[in-house]
């Protein structure tokens, strides 16, 4: 695996983790209504991982 691909995977994986955590906290703990923002970032991270690993 190339170093750039590995770096992109790690970065997008970290973004995905933070987005899922943000979404779960926004929905179940704080009930702030910011779940849409978390869902958007989850979608961006998943699409990014898909594109990087084609």
State the distance between the two ends of the chain, measured CA to CA, in whole angstroms.
13
Residue pLDDT, tens place only, 1-54: 789 999 999 999 999 999 999 899 988 888 888 888 888 999 999 999 999 998
pTM score, whole prediction: 0.83
Q: Do residues 34 and 22 lie in contact, with contact meaning Cβ atoms separated by under 8 Å?
A: yes
Residue 51, Cβ neighbours under 10 Å: how many? 10
Domain of 39? 3-52
Alpha helices in 1-54 (DSSP H): 3-24, 35-52
Angle between helices 3-24 and 35-52 (to 10 degrees): 160
- The DSSP secondary-structure symbol of 30 reads S
Total domains present in the chain: 1
């Amino acid at each position: 695996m190339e170093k750039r691909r590995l770096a992109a995977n790690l970065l997008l994986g970290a973004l995905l983790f933070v987005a899922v955590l943000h979404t779960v906290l926004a929905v179940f703990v704080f009930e702030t209504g910011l779940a849409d923002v978390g869902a958007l970032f989850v979608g961006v991270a998943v699409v990014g991982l898909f594109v990087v690993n084609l």
